[in-house]
Amino acid sequence: MVNITHKSNTLRKAVAVASIIVSLQETIRAINEKRVPKGDVFSFAKVAALFAVKKTDTVIPDCHPLPVEFTDVRFSVHDLCITVEVEVHTIYKTGVEVEAMHGAAVAALTLYDMLKPIDPHIEIQQIKLLSKSGGKSDRKNTEAINAAVVVCSDSISQQKATDKAGLAVVDKLKQWQINTLHYTIIPDEVTAIQTAIREFVNNNIQLLIFVGGTGVSKRDVTPDVIKPLLEVELPGIMEQARSYGQERMPYAMLSRSVAGFIQNTLVLTFPGSTGGATEYMDALFPAVLHALSIRNNEPH
């Protein structure tokens, strides 16, 4: 199976449809008048669709088992066409498109099976996804955002170690079409951090990410320097990041990261480990970019 452990749970929805064409108007009348020998066609097909949605992972090899929070099966008839519409909701790491399509497909097959004795020319014409929502594809960044990444580390600034976490953040930003105009390394010093903030805020950098110095050692001063400078603190951002990290390793709770706005620059502080920094990117992006839209007075 595809690894989805880096994803976050979100409300995901999908609607799929299947179309069945009968050859006789008498077939439609038999359905409406409940004269089909095998029974109530729509009731049977609805139950079959519900079972299919819940059992998708057992018949489609790469589908993950997931909690199905809601399923609705709807039927409509237009002339000789019967349409089955299946809507599925979940709160999980991956979408429910295949579950909805599987439900629609099995409902269509059930209709075919029940109607073929009275209409041998019935056809299943199409099964397709009508809509989906809730994944990261819904929140693609369409704005031109300029970013700066500042690595705070005594050892890296002294060339006793090499940076991996900051470069990993730069690579992740590329995935969201965010241009990193500045990448720099500074020591864990109060004045160096303050100077970097002034420089990038005054140069209209919209997204400023500090990597490192968020732990509990005596040299970890990044949050202590940045928090008093925040004009609008956004505690929920780092609450989400820590919660996401804690589900993956037991020390995420020790992070003292902060986030907020200084003028119109969104400032984020990430851990200095490569794993921690990439986890914060996975936890926060692209949803965190909505803060920039709101700050720019764009409609919610």
Q: Which of 57, 72, 79, 113 is catalytic?
A: 113
Distance between first and last Cα of the chain: 36
Q: What residues have CB less than 8 Å from 8, skipping those under 6 apart? A: 93, 244, 282, 283
113 is catalytic: yes
Whole-number Å distance between alpha carbons of 296 and 300: 11
Q: Which helix (H) or strand (E) holds 115?
A: helix 97-115
Token pair belonging to 122: 């019935």
Amino acid occupying residue 15:
V
Which residues pair with residue 74 across a beta bridge? 85
Look up tokens 């706005």; give the residue. 261
Whole-number Å distance between alpha carbons of 192 and 154: 11
Q: What residues have CB less than 8 Å from 163, skipping those under 6 apart? A: 151, 153, 156, 185
- The residue among 260, 271, 272, 156 whose CA lies nearest residue 201 is 260
Whole-number Å distance between alpha carbons of 61 and 76: 31
Which residues pair with residue 88 across a beta bridge? 14, 71
Token pair belonging to 262: 């200084």
Q: What residues have CB less than 8 Å from 96, skipping those under 6 apart? A: 12, 13, 14, 66, 68, 88, 89, 90, 132
Catalytic residues: 113
